[in-house]
Amino acid sequence: MPESRRPIAAATVAVLATVISQGHAATIEWVRTVANSRFANDIHVSRDGDVLLAGTTDVAPPGLNPLLHDAFVSRFSPAGEPLATTVFGGELEDQIWAITSDSVGNAVVFTMLTQEVAKDRSKTPNLVRIDHAGQIVSRSELKTDRAIVSAGFDQFGSLAVVGYGESGYVTSRTASSGEIEWTEPLAIDVQIPSIGALDSKGSMYLTGTSDPRGNAYVAKVGSSGGIEWDFERGTTSCDYAGDAAVDLFGNVYAVGFDNEGSLDTGGTNGAFLSKLTPDGELQWTRNFGSDGSWATSIEVDAWGNAVVIGIAGGFTSSRFEPFLAVFDTHGELRDSIGLGGGIRSARSVSLDNWGNAYVALNAFQASGQSDGLVAKIRYVPESTGMSLLVLTMAAVLPCRPASAGPRS
């Protein structure tokens, strides 16, 4: 049965609704929580408009160890009504890496389920399909001889993964007969590449940090598995590209952080947004936010606006806080909104077709654990810009901003 939910504490709602500066058009429509969730990791707006939130939880269903983490998927209506929550997992700690939906609105998740056999732990990739009522309708194990390091779904719901083995990094866009079919190894020197974006032609865009140069790195991998182009840009310190998005014309937007603020004239030590041509040539880069800020997730809407989330410090307190910012195709800031207080991170952003952004957030409990949250932010795509504010995101980074505090 779908798991019951408790409402988010009123004090937390008040914190989430705190606007850091006035005059912007973006507004927080609603915020919802999932009971006893440990961490919200990914978010997706389904084809029928429902909002799907995925992550790991401290609550285990009957028959599983309640002291270990399991996977969860929660479904909300566009108005924020909780519809269903499903908890599932293996014998040990489990993780959901990516979520999408199929043609009828079922949630489809790529998850790593951990089992223990003869005292050896084994992580097994699975595809799990969950219906509108929160019932698991199918679950298939994917066989592979490589370690999975990143996964994502394209706009058609097809799975893409990056693996690692003795020969280096490999990619896959197919999983026939329950087995992941790998391409030839990639000729890249990068620390743990992530799938930032996937386009309609079967290409994937990898992001990360180049090794050993420590530059922000983006590469386009074609449908056959070969690298079509790669792009590096950085400072003398460690820089990182954490996510990417592709617009309708094939332009690529990448976000991350740099440690010296020299990616753009007059920039600060912190978050950046770069726009590349379809051939991988740099069009422009914008630094924004306070020192130590970084941008961690991006989507491009139907108007060509880049909707970016990340974390920045110095707005309502000395602590780092989350932000959502909207940039036009020329890199001009059009709108922004910030959240303060107990928000720990914002992991992912997903857009609908009506100018709404949905963000996966995490907020501290009094116990030190976190509750997974989803927030709906209404922004006006054609609005003219305001000063930068703040909304979220903690990520596993190979290096961190020079002025940032300890990573959560």
Ramachandran angles phi, psi of 11, nearest 5°: -65, -40
The pair of three-digit structure tokens given for residue 394, joined into one six-digit string: 């903690």
Rounded-to-integer distance, Cα 245 and Cα 328, Å:
14
Per-residue pLDDT of the chain in tens (408 residues, 90 and over written 9)? 333 332 323 223 323 333 333 335 888 899 998 866 678 899 999 989 999 999 988 655 555 555 567 889 999 999 999 999 998 886 667 888 899 999 999 999 998 877 554 445 567 888 999 999 999 999 988 888 888 889 999 888 888 999 988 888 999 987 766 778 888 888 888 887 899 999 988 899 999 988 877 889 999 999 888 899 999 887 667 788 899 999 999 999 999 988 765 544 444 568 899 999 999 999 999 988 777 788 989 999 988 999 999 887 644 455 677 889 999 999 998 888 886 656 778 889 999 988 899 999 888 776 667 788 899 999 876 543 333 333 333 333 444 444 333 333
87 forms beta bridges with 72
In the chain, where the domains are located = 1-33+234-408, 36-144
Residues in the chain, how many? Answer: 408
The architecture that CATH gives domain 36-144 is 6 Propeller (2.120)
> What string of H, E and C letters represents the secondary structure of 10-70?
HHHHHHHCCCCCCCCCCEEEEEEECCCEEEEEEEEECCCCCEEEEEEECCCCCCCCCCCCE
103, 141 Cβ separation under 8 angstroms: no
Question: What is this structure's pTM?
Answer: 0.83
